[in-house]
Structure 1
Amino acid sequence: MNTFKIEGDYIQLIQLLKAMNLVEHGAMAQWVVAEGLVKYNGAVDYRKRLKLKPGDVVEFDGQQIKLV
């Protein structure tokens, strides 16, 4: 499991995918979320601007990322 340190109160889901280099660009990040390919705390979530906070876990493409 990878970790990502949040600077500030939160990070948006599509920003996290870009910051972790899991997608090539923002449009691709929006597409993978809209297609239901991303899990948030164990469940598929379709909100592109979902605010992630420390303790949340995101799963995409076989990788898990825990926010700290």
Structure 2
Amino acid sequence: MNQVVISTAYITLGQMLKEAGIIDTGGMAKWYLSEFIVYVNGEEENRRGKKLVPEDTVTLADGTKYQIVGK
């Protein structure tokens, strides 16, 4: 499982996708989420502003998993 380390209380789903290198710019988040299924903690999520906190898990359509980890 890949990890995304954050130094703040939360990170948005759009920011996480950019930080993980899945998208190139924050503006691509809306498009990505409309084209691909993304799960947050096992539930389908399409809001780029969804707040992710440490211990949350993001799963992409291809099965790649990312865990949010606090610093």
TM-score range, shorter chain: 0.7 to 0.9
Deviation at 1:36, TM superposition (A): 5.1
Aligned residues: 68
Name the counterpart of 2:16: 16
Task: Compute the displacement of 1:3 (Å).
Answer: 0.9
RMSD: 1.4
> CA-to-partner distance for each residue in 1:4-30, whole Å, 9 max, x for gaps?
111110000000000110112223221
Distance apart, 1:67 and its partner CA:
0.8
Structure 2: runs of 5 or more not aligned: none
3-state SS of 1:26 partner: coil
The more displaced of 57-66 and 47-56 is 57-66
Q: Map 1:1-68; keep pairs closer than 5 Å.
A: 1-35=1-35, 37-60=37-60, 61-68=62-69
TM-score by length of structure 1 reads 0.86
Residues 22-53 of structure 1: per-residue CA shift (max 9 Å, x gap): 11222322112234521111111121100100
- Residue 6 of structure 2 aligns to a residue whose secondary structure is coil
